[in-house]
Structure 1
Amino acid sequence: MAVTKLEINSRSPFAQGQPFGDTGGYEQIDGTVYFAVDPGHPANEPIADLKLATRDASGMVTFSSDFRILQPTDPSKGNRSVFFDILNRGKAPALRNFNNAPEVAPDAPMDPGNGFLMRYGYTVVWCGWQCDVPDLPGVMRINVPDAVTAEGPISGEVVVTFHPNTPTQVQYLSDRSHRPYPANKLEDWDSVLTVQEHEDAPEEIIPREQWAFARIEGDRVVPDARHIYMAAGFVPGKVYQVNYTTTGAPIVGLGMLATRDMMSFLRHGSTEQDNPCAGYVDRAHSFGVSQSGRFLRHFLYLGMNEDESGRTVFDGLIPHVGGGKRGEFNHRFAQPSSQASRSPNSLFPFSDTDQTDPETGRTDGLMRRLAAKGKVPKVMYINTPSEYWGGHGSLLHTDLTGTRDLDLLDSVRIYMVGGAQHANGSLPLTDFDPGDDIRTQQLFNCLDYRAVLRAALVNLDRWAKTGQEAPPSRYPRLSDGTAVTPGDASASFRAIPGVNPPVPLRRFTRLDFGPDPGVPTNVPPVVGNPYPSLVSAVDSDGNELAGIRLPFITVPVAAYTGWNVRHADIGGAGQTMSTGGATGGTLRGSTIPFAVTREDREATGDPRLSIEERYASKEDYLEQVRQAAQDLVDQGYVLGEDLPRLVDQCSQLYDAVASRVSVPQAAND
């Protein structure tokens, strides 16, 4: 077994011993797990540079990860199912996404929120998989060796992309303060810095003498291999890319093996091996959101869902808002936090089943390795319109010409949550986020769609346990006319006063990094032709016709989109608003309220009916919301316990929109 030791550093009551229904209290277990893997084992073959790692006396490659387990104090009261939450940049997203818990600092006590996962009896597990996470207390990481040759540490080219929202003269050479790859030489005149008006615009090389590897300290410019400095400053809204040489290549793909082997140990390890879950695991499911959702897609692509003994690791997976992407999780000089579009994040294949790219002639599919061994698990891909407007969501289920729906595997469901944005939304209604220095043309998307996640997990576990199939997939399809081009959908939005869809529209392009994706030789890549992109058609209100349509959409007080555009105040006016400081960052969505009265609507020229024209009263509105929510409960897309919560959320949203003062605005102003 690849786990050689599970070292428990602490055990303590979770949430101060709070009981969670019939499950009772929970225990929190923290520690370090140690691994040793055979670089020659066929199950480990997909990991880039593994054979270049230093080995121990037994010829094994060793590494270690932080871990945390939340387990019923009396394990016999659990549901015998592990919920393995893939960390997002070293942080645990599950309690926020399933328990409606507030976000807390990584080193603060975890907040149980509404206790959903505990009330249902899940054992919740986290294990560090990312080696470059920021050096902050409480952040979980993996410690991995570097790849080396007989000549010593490996050197090579790396590209860092950034898209500033505020004026600055200095940029750290990583995403979100992660550990960067330092430049080899401060005076490396072969390094290249380019600037673009947007990600698909022509690149302009900035003369080397105008920038340096340096930072500002007080009033001095100090040489620094981990920063770049430009006296003229980096302009908000423009796209910058710096290409330079670094030394030291951590074996990033070991995060895949840590995930696989930790879960395998918890399923099959014994009490004598200090496995706290021994004898209490019948099923295991994994969840990842955004970056970690893309990690799960990559995990499936590499065939990691079977361990070195050929045993199934996860019965079910929920890659959430990963769209058609994978990530920088398994190649030399990978940057796992990066969201850049022109990176290994965006590589073919996108769909589960095999396709042949008509331009490159390459044939591949996400599940190719697992399907060949009969090891395809149950998978629920949950996405929002943000992934579709990001240029990649439809690639999961349409062919590479954009003219045909693909058949899904029997064990796969695809759900798009209509009107939602990539990250869960919330009130109050605003267009400014001071934390990210973001301002948008429209109000931020405020939809809370976590009810869909809770139902999906219950359906997935039941499917794995009893064979009762999950509710049918819901997503935009060419066959029923709900999948259209972004340009066609944009025309519907332009009829709404003050609404301008993104320009240019996001797209995925073919990228050539060289013959071996694990060791890129074209850095940056050769850029080819774009892939087709489709989004959901919208109704006359601007709300999507496809997907799981929550009461926010079917009984609306506004239009909700998965896209928003940059405000002129932060540069790049009219471009798609993405977060994360990179061109491929996740999309912010919009809330576009209806006028409150007919008079308001006519004053602004809004063709959509006002709230007073739609609903006789707030009570009438809420009664329609209750019926719409009940329909979703009956269909299995929402749990009964979430019906009152949805009604309350719609009530708050109604009040927020009804209290707004309409200001006449010329169409397309």
Structure 2
Amino acid sequence: MAVTKLEINSRSPFAQGQPFGDTGGYEQIDGTVYFAVDPGHPANEPIADLKLATRDASGMVTFSSDFRILQPTDPSKGNRSVFFDILNRGKAPALRNFNNAPEVAPDAPMDPGNGFLMRYGYTVVWCGWQCDVPDLPGVMRINVPDAVTAEGPISGEVVVTFHPNTPTQVQYLSDRSHRPYPANKLEDWDSVLTVQEHEDAPEEIIPREQWAFARIEGDRVAPDARHIYMAAGFVPGKVYQVNYTTTGAPIVGLGMLATRDMMSFLRHGSTEQDNPCAGYVDRAHSFGVSQSGRFLRHFLYLGMNEDESGRTVFDGLIPHVGGGKRGEFNHRFAQPSSQASRSPNSLFPFSDTDQTDPETGRTDGLMRRLAAKGKVPKVMYINTPSEYWGGHGSLLHTDLTAARDLDLLDSVRIYMVGGAQHANGSLPLTDFDPGDDIRTQQLFNCLDYRAVLRAALVNLDRWAKTGQEAPPSRYPRLSDGTAVTPGDASASFRAIPGVNPPVPLRRFTRLDFGPDPGVPTNVPPVVGNPYPSLVSAVDSDG
């Protein structure tokens, strides 16, 4: 078993000992979990650069993660199901999405909200999987080794994409204040900065003498390998990419193994191994939202639902608002927080079943590895129209020419929450997002779709426990005319006074990073032809 030690740092009553119906009170367990994996084991083969990690005396690659468990104080009163919540940028989204809990600071006591997960008896688990999260109190992370060669640390090219929402002269070289890859040479004249009017527009190179690796410190410009500075300023709404050389390649894909092996340990580890869940787990499900929903899609693609002993890890998954994308979760110099379109976020395949790309001739499917092993879990993909307009959503269930609907696997459901936005809606109505400091053309959507998530989990657990099938899929289809092109849907929106859809419409293109996407050699990638995109049809009211 890949978990070598579960170190418990604290145990305390959750929510000050508040009882949750028949389940009673809950206990919060915090600590560090230590792993050792065999870089030569076939189950670990998909992890990029794993064989370049430093090994211990036994030939294993070691790493560690923060973890948290919420478990019934009397485990016998639980429902024998683990709800494994995939952290989103080091933060725990489950209580907000299932318990209607308010958002709190990562280091503040967790708010139980309406207690849904506890009243149903779930053991809730979090485990750090992202190595570059900001160094903030309460944010959970994984600590991983770097890939190295006989010559030492690895150097290579990295591309950082940013879209400023307000005028600024300085940009941190990461997404959302995550740990950046520092530039090797501040005066590297081979580094390139480009600007685009939008993500699909031609790239214009900004002359090297107009920008620098630097930040503003008081009244002076100070050289800094983790910032980029341009005296003329970065313009809101435009897309910038800086391509430069860095050194130090953390093995980002170990986050996949941490997720797999932590869950496997909780299912199969013994009390003698300090497993607090020993003897109380029959089923395990995982949930991810947005970034972490894409993480689960990548988890499936890499075949991670089988541990080193050949055992099933998760019975069911709910990748929520992940669209058809994956992420920067398993390649050299990956940036897991990045949402850039021209990145490994947007690589083929998109559907569970095998398809052949008519442009490249490549055949693949998201579930190919797991189907070959007989380890395909039950999956509920839940999306909103946002993931269809901006996240490859239709490619989950249509072919690569947008000519026909695909048949889904028997163990898969796809649900689209009509009329919803990417993030859960709320009141009062507003057109301002303080998180991104932007004002929108229309008011933000107020639809609260969390009841859908609760129903999905209840149906998923019942499906896994009793075999009672989940409700049939509901999503836009070509066969009944509910899936249309973005251009057709935009025409309907333009007929509504005061509504002006963006121009041009977003596209996602084929990207060539080289023969091994885990170790990209085309940086930035070679851009090919776009994939087709479909969205839901709308009526005269939009």
* TM, length-normalised to structure 2: 0.99
**Could you list the per-position Cα deviations for residues 490-537 of structure 1 after superposition, in whole angstroms to 9, with x for gaps in the alignment?**
111111111111211111100000000110000000000000000000
CA contact (8 A) 2:167 2:236 kept: yes
Question: How far is 1:430 from its partner?
Answer: 1.3
In the alignment, the residues of structure 2 paired with residue 62 and residue 436 of structure 1 have an alpha-carbon distance, to the nearest angstrom, of: 37
CA contact (8 A) 1:391 1:506 kept: no
**Could you list the per-position Cα deviations for residues 571-601 of structure 1 after superposition, in whole angstroms to 9, with x for gaps in the alignment?**
xxxxxxxxxxxxxxxxxxxxxxxxxxxxxxx
CA contact (8 A) 1:129 1:141 kept: yes
CA contact (8 A) 1:391 1:507 kept: no
CA contact (8 A) 1:147 1:250 kept: yes
**Could you list the per-position Cα deviations for residues 417-472 of structure 1 after superposition, in whole angstroms to 9, with x for gaps in the alignment?**
00001110111111112332111111111111000000000000000000000000
Q: Which SS does the other structure have where 2:454 is aligned?
A: helix
**Could you list the per-position Cα deviations for residues 220-253 of structure 1 after superposition, in whole angstroms to 9, with x for gaps in the alignment?**
1000000000000001111100000000000000
Aligned residue number for residue 208 of structure 2: 208
In the alignment, the residues of structure 2 paired with residue 352 and residue 230 of structure 1 have an alpha-carbon distance, to the nearest angstrom, of: 44
In the alignment, the residues of structure 1 paired with residue 434 and residue 491 of structure 2 have an alpha-carbon distance, to the nearest angstrom, of: 31
Aligned residue number for residue 494 of structure 2: 494
Aligned residue runs from structure 1 range 460-479, under 5 A: 460-479=460-479
CA contact (8 A) 1:266 1:278 kept: yes
In the alignment, the residues of structure 1 paired with residue 434 and residue 254 of structure 2 have an alpha-carbon distance, to the nearest angstrom, of: 36
**Could you list the per-position Cα deviations for residues 353-375 of structure 1 after superposition, in whole angstroms to 9, with x for gaps in the alignment?**
00000000000000000001111
Instruction: State the 4+ residue runs in structure 1 displaced beyond 4 angstroms.
Output: none
**Could you list the per-position Cα deviations for residues 596-617 of structure 1 after superposition, in whole angstroms to 9, with x for gaps in the alignment?**
xxxxxxxxxxxxxxxxxxxxxx
In the alignment, the residues of structure 1 paired with residue 334 and residue 372 of structure 2 have an alpha-carbon distance, to the nearest angstrom, of: 28
Q: Which SS does the other structure have where 2:263 is aligned?
A: helix
In the alignment, the residues of structure 2 paired with residue 434 and residue 359 of structure 1 have an alpha-carbon distance, to the nearest angstrom, of: 42
In the alignment, the residues of structure 2 paired with residue 432 and residue 462 of structure 1 have an alpha-carbon distance, to the nearest angstrom, of: 40
Q: Which SS does the other structure have where 2:83 is aligned?
A: strand
Give aligned pairs, total.
542
Aligned residue number for residue 114 of structure 1: 114
Structure 2 unmatched runs, 5+: none
* Identity within the alignment, %: 99
In the alignment, the residues of structure 2 paired with residue 256 and residue 434 of structure 1 have an alpha-carbon distance, to the nearest angstrom, of: 32
Pairing 1:223–2:223 present = yes
The 1:181–1:132 alpha-carbon spacing in structure 2 relative to 1, beyond 3 Å, is same
In the alignment, the residues of structure 2 paired with residue 466 and residue 12 of structure 1 have an alpha-carbon distance, to the nearest angstrom, of: 34
CA contact (8 A) 2:322 2:391 kept: no
In the alignment, the residues of structure 2 paired with residue 506 and residue 397 of structure 1 have an alpha-carbon distance, to the nearest angstrom, of: 19
In the alignment, the residues of structure 1 paired with residue 357 and residue 435 of structure 2 have an alpha-carbon distance, to the nearest angstrom, of: 41
**Could you list the per-position Cα deviations for residues 274-301 of structure 1 after superposition, in whole angstroms to 9, with x for gaps in the alignment?**
0000000000000000000000000000
Aligned residue number for residue 321 of structure 2: 321
**Could you list the per-position Cα deviations for residues 280-329 of structure 1 after superposition, in whole angstroms to 9, with x for gaps in the alignment?**
00000000000000000000000000000000000000000000000000
In the alignment, the residues of structure 2 paired with residue 95 and residue 142 of structure 1 have an alpha-carbon distance, to the nearest angstrom, of: 21
CA contact (8 A) 2:288 2:319 kept: yes
Aligned residue number for residue 233 of structure 1: 233
**Normalized per residue, which structure has more helix?**
1
**Could you list the per-position Cα deviations for residues 159-178 of structure 1 after superposition, in whole angstroms to 9, with x for gaps in the alignment?**
00011110000000000000
Question: How far is 1:211 from its partner?
Answer: 0.3
In the alignment, the residues of structure 2 paired with residue 15 and residue 432 of structure 1 have an alpha-carbon distance, to the nearest angstrom, of: 33
Question: How far is 1:539 from its partner?
Answer: 1.5
CA contact (8 A) 1:391 1:533 kept: no
CA RMSD of aligned residues (A): 1.1
Q: Which SS does the other structure have where 1:215 is aligned?
A: strand
Aligned residue runs from structure 1 range 578-657, under 5 A: none
In the alignment, the residues of structure 2 paired with residue 486 and residue 391 of structure 1 have an alpha-carbon distance, to the nearest angstrom, of: 13
In the alignment, the residues of structure 2 paired with residue 21 and residue 505 of structure 1 have an alpha-carbon distance, to the nearest angstrom, of: 49
In the alignment, the residues of structure 1 paired with residue 257 and residue 436 of structure 2 have an alpha-carbon distance, to the nearest angstrom, of: 33
In the alignment, the residues of structure 2 paired with residue 272 and residue 430 of structure 1 have an alpha-carbon distance, to the nearest angstrom, of: 54
In the alignment, the residues of structure 2 paired with residue 22 and residue 527 of structure 1 have an alpha-carbon distance, to the nearest angstrom, of: 56
CA contact (8 A) 1:399 1:405 kept: yes
Question: How far is 1:137 from its partner?
Answer: 0.2
**Structure with the greater alpha carbon radius of gyration:** 1
CA contact (8 A) 2:11 2:27 kept: yes
Aligned residue runs from structure 1 range 421-500, under 5 A: 421-500=421-500
**Could you list the per-position Cα deviations for residues 464-495 of structure 1 after superposition, in whole angstroms to 9, with x for gaps in the alignment?**
00000000000000000100001101111111
CA contact (8 A) 1:355 1:363 kept: yes
CA contact (8 A) 2:325 2:391 kept: no
CA contact (8 A) 1:87 1:129 kept: yes
In the alignment, the residues of structure 2 paired with residue 85 and residue 444 of structure 1 have an alpha-carbon distance, to the nearest angstrom, of: 26
**Could you list the per-position Cα deviations for residues 117-164 of structure 1 after superposition, in whole angstroms to 9, with x for gaps in the alignment?**
000000000000000000000000000000000000000000000111
Q: Which SS does the other structure have where 1:389 is aligned?
A: helix
**Could you list the per-position Cα deviations for residues 360-417 of structure 1 after superposition, in whole angstroms to 9, with x for gaps in the alignment?**
0000000000001111100000000000011510000000000100000000000000
CA contact (8 A) 1:347 1:510 kept: yes
CA contact (8 A) 1:214 1:226 kept: yes
Deviates more, 1:498-507 or 1:65-74: 498-507
In the alignment, the residues of structure 2 paired with residue 194 and residue 446 of structure 1 have an alpha-carbon distance, to the nearest angstrom, of: 37
Q: Which SS does the other structure have where 2:22 is aligned?
A: helix
Pairing 1:250–2:217 present = no
Aligned residue number for residue 168 of structure 1: 168
In the alignment, the residues of structure 1 paired with residue 94 and residue 504 of structure 2 have an alpha-carbon distance, to the nearest angstrom, of: 34
* TM, length-normalised to structure 1: 0.81
CA contact (8 A) 1:214 1:221 kept: yes
CA contact (8 A) 2:293 2:318 kept: yes
Aligned residue number for residue 199 of structure 2: 199
In the alignment, the residues of structure 1 paired with residue 507 and residue 450 of structure 2 have an alpha-carbon distance, to the nearest angstrom, of: 28
In the alignment, the residues of structure 1 paired with residue 107 and residue 123 of structure 2 have an alpha-carbon distance, to the nearest angstrom, of: 21
In the alignment, the residues of structure 1 paired with residue 39 and residue 434 of structure 2 have an alpha-carbon distance, to the nearest angstrom, of: 47
In the alignment, the residues of structure 1 paired with residue 256 and residue 400 of structure 2 have an alpha-carbon distance, to the nearest angstrom, of: 28
Q: Which SS does the other structure have where 2:189 is aligned?
A: coil
The 1:391–1:275 alpha-carbon spacing in structure 2 relative to 1, beyond 3 Å, is closer
Q: Which SS does the other structure have where 1:425 is aligned?
A: coil
The 1:506–1:391 alpha-carbon spacing in structure 2 relative to 1, beyond 3 Å, is farther
Structure 1 unmatched runs, 5+: 541-667
In the alignment, the residues of structure 2 paired with residue 198 and residue 481 of structure 1 have an alpha-carbon distance, to the nearest angstrom, of: 30
Q: Which SS does the other structure have where 2:400 is aligned?
A: coil
Aligned residue number for residue 72 of structure 1: 72
In the alignment, the residues of structure 1 paired with residue 9 and residue 429 of structure 2 have an alpha-carbon distance, to the nearest angstrom, of: 44
Question: How far is 1:84 from its partner?
Answer: 0.2
In the alignment, the residues of structure 1 paired with residue 433 and residue 219 of structure 2 have an alpha-carbon distance, to the nearest angstrom, of: 29
Q: Which SS does the other structure have where 1:519 is aligned?
A: coil
CA contact (8 A) 2:79 2:121 kept: yes
In the alignment, the residues of structure 2 paired with residue 433 and residue 330 of structure 1 have an alpha-carbon distance, to the nearest angstrom, of: 31
In the alignment, the residues of structure 2 paired with residue 495 and residue 379 of structure 1 have an alpha-carbon distance, to the nearest angstrom, of: 38
Q: Which SS does the other structure have where 1:443 is aligned?
A: coil
**Could you list the per-position Cα deviations for residues 519-559 of structure 1 after superposition, in whole angstroms to 9, with x for gaps in the alignment?**
0000000000000000000122xxxxxxxxxxxxxxxxxxx
CA contact (8 A) 1:65 1:258 kept: yes
CA contact (8 A) 1:391 1:534 kept: no
The 1:325–1:85 alpha-carbon spacing in structure 2 relative to 1, beyond 3 Å, is same
